[in-house]
């Protein structure tokens, strides 16, 4: 299985400041025929199901605020929240869907400083 490792495990950022979460895969999730990275980011709040934020590493899901952005390729990826809002407090997960055995990172807990 492809192992997904996120860093840091937890993060405290002041309101209005930038938050950056990293995700590394144990093998490339870039599918060469279409040059797409099969990497998604999800936001998970207590008592709610996960919410899709980003797919193909950098494409924002419809309705997701533009302060959320994704970048990276092959094995190294980043989720950036440009200006943290109170409602962004959550656990964030990266996910690879390159292989039929889908795997998630361990999650990064984002809090307000």
Partner 1 sequence: QVQLVESGGGVVQPGRSLRLSCAASGFTFSRSAMHYVRQAPGRRLEWVAVIWSDGSKKYYADSVKGRFTISRDNSKNTLYLQMDSLRAEDTAVYYCARKNPEGAFDIWGQGTMVTVSS
Q: Would you say 20 or 50 has its CB closer to partner 1?
A: 50
Where b means 16+ CB within 10 Å and e means fewer, 43-64 reads beeeeeebeebbbebbebeeeb
DSSP, residue by residue, 53-96: EEETTTEEPTT--TTEEEEEETTEEEEEESS--GGG-EEEEEEE
**Going by DSSP bridges, is the β-strand pair 10-13/108-112 parallel, antiparallel, or unpaired?**
parallel
* Residue 2 touches partner 1, criterion: CB under 8 A: no
Site for partner 1 contains 102 (CB under 8 A): yes
Query: From residue 58 to residue 77, what is the string marking binding to partner 1 with x (rule CB under 8 A)?
Result: -x-x----------------
Stretch that binds partner 1, among 13-21, 69-77, 80-88, 89-97 (CB under 8 A): 89-97
107 binds partner 1 (CB under 8 A): yes
- Closest CB 83 distance from partner 1, rounded Å: 24
49 binds partner 1 (CB under 8 A): yes
């Amino acid at each position: 299985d492809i192992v997904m490792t996120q860093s840091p495990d937890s993060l405290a950022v002041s309101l209005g400041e930038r938050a950056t979460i990293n995700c590394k895969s144990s093998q490339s999730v870039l599918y060469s025929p279409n040059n797409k990275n099969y990497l998604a980011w999800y936001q998970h709040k207590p008592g709610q199901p996960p919410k899709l934020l980003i797919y193909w590493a950098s494409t924002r899901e419809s309705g997701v605020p533009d302060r959320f952005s994704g970048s990276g390729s092959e094995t190294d990826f980043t989720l950036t929240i440009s200006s943290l809002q109170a409602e962004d407090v959550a656990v964030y997960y990266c996910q690879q869907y390159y292989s039929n055995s889908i795997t998630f990172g361990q999650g990064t807990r984002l809090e307000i400083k």
